[in-house]
């Protein structure tokens, strides 16, 4: 792929690639509010550098991500992060960049930076689908078995996917309205807890103990799809009634939302009999979810794969790992 000429690519007197280790992929992620960059060695999949600047504390002032502001911040942060990768410039063989799905204005910022760097280093761009990137958070610095039934739970998506390889991903089901992470974010907002809602609701739920009787979405229904808007409205009514403590609302919401996920995943397992199931995306950091899925794995005897907490939310390493597969 591409016409990478190492002589043309020499970098201010740097040693040649052969003296400095193998070729690398530089990867860029900017689909939402995390500016992230990583460098991964192609042959060994070793992660040589990764850093991210989260914009969460800035957006939390507005109760959610403000796309135009996120875009402007990426334009400042991404060049700073790439500058830190300068020692690897001579080894770069391709630039992996998230190009879809996500916020159009923030994706564009990453692609512009990638194009500029790609042109100056004369290396090709490798466009990476963000959701495929999340799947490859399971493969950072390692290989895993395939096929996998994937439960993808992020801020933008909630999906069951059948994964056989980087270009072989089939959607089994998806959410009809909000995603799991979005539901956590909206409930946190209703309770006045700020953004992002997942970690704060999870923490508050630990203090709750009373089940206030919230519905489990689509319970007993044939569909493998997800839905969170009814549950969200039930939470709104519970808050408005003034009858319940916030910690019990958080506890009950988390239980219902995750019972819903578990019911649909169980149905999918019965249909597809996967040898292994992987959970990925920002909300896969939720420990109650992990605990419930572990129980399911024991009952149905499948291998459960989950990324280390560090790789659940958006990062550059997963984009680089997927980029290597596409390269
Ligand atoms: O994957 P991600 O970093 O970004 C997207 O691709 O959307 O996911 C962010 C989402 C947010 O909605 C956040 O509230 C949720 O993941 N999240 C959680 C937890 N940590 C993050 N949701 C539930 N429990 C958590 N512990
Ligand atoms: Zn994501």
Instruction: Check pocket membership of 154 for ligand 1, CB cut-off 6 A.
Output: yes
Compute the residue count for the chain: 327
Residue whose CA is at the smallest distance from ligand 1 atom 26: 286
Looking at all shown ligands, the one closest to residue 193's CA atom is 1
**Ligand 2 geometric centre to CA of 303 (Å):** 23
Query: How many angstroms from the chain centroid is the CA of residue 254?
Result: 20
Amino acid 21: pLDDT? 56
Instruction: Describe the strand order of the beta sheet including 148-153 as a list of residue ranges.
Output: 168-174, 158-165, 148-153, 276-280, 303-305
Confidence (pLDDT) at 61: 87
Indicate the DSSP class of residue 175. B
Distance 109 CA to ligand 2 centre (A): 16
For residue 208 and ligand 1, the question of a CB distance below 6 A is answered with no
Hey, what long-range contacts does 220-224 have (CB within 8 A, 24 or more apart)?
A: 223/173, 223/264, 224/160, 224/172, 224/173, 224/264, 224/267, 224/268, 224/271
Decide whether any atom of ligand 1 lies within 6 Å of the 133 Cβ: no
Nearest ligand, CA 158: 1
Ligand 1: does its nearest atom lie under 6 Å from the Cβ of 182?
yes
Q: Is the CB of 202 under 6 A from ligand 1?
A: yes
- For residue 181 and ligand 1, the question of a CB distance below 6 A is answered with yes
Please tell me the number of Cα atoms within 13 Å of 265 on its side-chain side. Answer: 30
CA–centroid distance, 154 to ligand 1, in Å, is 5
Ligand 1 nearest-atom number relative to CA 286: 26
- Which residues are in the CB-under-5-Å shell of ion ligand 2? 154, 314
Determine the distance separating the centroid of ligand 1 and the alpha carbon of 314, expressed in angstroms.
9
21-47 per-residue burial string, b: 16 or more CB within 10 A, e: under 16 = eebbbbbbbbbbbbbbbbbbbbeebeb
β strands within the chain, DSSP E? 24-29, 34-41, 47-54, 92-100, 125-129, 148-153, 158-165, 168-174, 276-280, 303-305
User: Can you give the pTM of this predicted structure?
Assistant: 0.93
CA angle 55, 61, 62 (to 5 degrees): 95
**Both tokens assigned to 105:** 């204005």
CA distance 72 to 63: 18
Q: 32: Cβ below 6 Å to ligand 1?
A: yes
**Cα angle at 299 between 296 and 303, to 5 degrees?**
65
Residue 257's nearest CA partner among 224, 228, 282 is 228
Nearest atom in ligand 1 to the alpha carbon of residue 182 is 12
pLDDT for residue 5? 28
Q: Quick check: CB of 316 below 6 Å from ligand 1?
A: no
**Residue-level pLDDT, tens digit, the chain, 327 residues:** 232 223 333 333 344 443 445 899 999 999 999 999 999 999 999 999 999 999 999 998 898 899 999 999 999 999 999 999 999 999 999 999 999 999 999 999 999 999 999 999 999 999 999 999 999 999 999 999 999 999 999 999 999 999 999 999 999 999 999 999 999 999 999 999 989 999 999 999 999 999 999 999 999 999 999 999 999 999 999 999 999 999 999 999 999 999 999 999 999 999 999 999 999 999 999 999 999 999 999 999 999 999 999 999 999 999 999 999 999
Q: Which ligand has the nearest atom to the CA of 29? A: 2
52 forms beta bridges with 36
Tell me how many degrees the CA angle 30-34-36 measures, rounded to the nearest 5.
70
Dist. CA 289 → ligand 2 center (Å): 17
């Amino acid at each position: 792929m591409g016409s990478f000429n190492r002589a043309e690519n020499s970098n201010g007197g740097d040693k040649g690639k052969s003296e400095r280790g193998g070729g690398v992929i530089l990867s860029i992620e900017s689909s939402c509010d995390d500016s992230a960059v990583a460098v991964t060695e192609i042959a060994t999949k070793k992660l040589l550098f990764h850093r991210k600047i989260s914009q969460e504390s800035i957006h939390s002032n507005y109760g959610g991500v403000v796309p135009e502001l996120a875009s402007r911040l990426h334009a400042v942060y991404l060049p700073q992060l790439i500058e830190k990768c300068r020692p690897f410039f001579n080894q770069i063989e391709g630039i992996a960049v998230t190009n879809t799905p996500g916020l159009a204005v923030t994706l564009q910022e990453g692609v512009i930076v990638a194009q500029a760097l790609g042109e100056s280093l004369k290396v090709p761009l490798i466009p990476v689908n963000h959701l495929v990137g999340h799947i490859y958070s399971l493969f950072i610095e390692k290989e895993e078995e395939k096929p996998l039934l994937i439960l993808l739970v992020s801020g933008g998506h909630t999906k069951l996917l059948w994964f056989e390889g980087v270009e072989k991903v089939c959607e089994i089901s998806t959410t009809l309205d909000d995603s799991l992470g979005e539901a956590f974010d909206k409930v946190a907002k209703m309770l006045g807890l700020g953004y992002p809602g997942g970690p704060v609701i999870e923490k508050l739920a630990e203090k709750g103990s009373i089940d206030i009787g919230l519905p489990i979405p689509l319970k007993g229904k044939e569909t493998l799809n997800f839905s969170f808007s009814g549950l969200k409205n039930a939470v709104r009514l519970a808050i408005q009634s003034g009858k319940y403590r916030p910690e019990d609302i958080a506890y009950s919401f988390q239980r219902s939302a995750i019972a819903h996920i578990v019911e649909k995943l169980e149905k999918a397992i019965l249909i597809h009999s996967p040898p292994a199931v992987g959970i990925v995306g920002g909300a896969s950091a939720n420990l109650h979810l992990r605990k419930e899925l572990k129980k399911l794995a024991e009952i149905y005897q499948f291998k459960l794969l989950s990324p280390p907490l560090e790789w659940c939310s958006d990062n550059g390493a997963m984009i680089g790992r997927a980029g290597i597969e596409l390269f």
